[in-house]
């Protein structure tokens, strides 16, 4: 069972990286001009990483618990899914949502 628990944590880490990549991809493809593309492509994942690292990560500087943790987690992953959808990848967006929800449910069940 230990390998499965570790695999679930690995999936979680990969979801976090995919969220940042999704936001960056959206930003670089959405901006109206080169400066807007650079600003959104770097700014969106940077803001998400700051929120995640400050409040949600296991080693958060200001850890939040309970509903606040779930809301911030949902906001970051939801923004990533919305970014994929807005960038023209609805199937990737749906896959991301399904994997993120499954991962979160398993983390809750296994007290991770």
CA 84 to chain CA centroid, nearest Å: 11
* b/e map 71-102, b = 16+ CB within 10 Å: ebbeebbebbbebbbebebeebbeebbebbee
Burial degree of 60 (CB within 10 A; 0-12, 13-18, 19+)? middle
Q: What is the pLDDT of residues 2-54, one digit of tens each?
A: 999 999 999 999 999 999 999 999 999 998 999 999 999 999 999 999 999 99
Q: Is residue 1 scored above 80 in pLDDT? A: no
């Amino acid at each position: 069972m230990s390998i499965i628990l570790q695999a679930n944590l690995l999936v979680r880490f990969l979801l976090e990286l995919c969220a940042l990549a999704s936001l960056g991809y959206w930003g670089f493809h959405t901006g109206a001009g080169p400066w807007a593309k650079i600003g959104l492509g770097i700014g969106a994942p940077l803001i998400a990483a700051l929120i995640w690292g400050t409040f949600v990560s296991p080693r958060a500087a200001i850890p939040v618990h309970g509903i606040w943790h779930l809301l911030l987690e949902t906001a970051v992953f939801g923004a990533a899914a919305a970014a994929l959808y807005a960038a023209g990848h609805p199937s990737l967006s749906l896959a991301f949502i399904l994997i993120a929800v499954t991962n979160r449910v398993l983390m809750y069940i296994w007290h991770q």
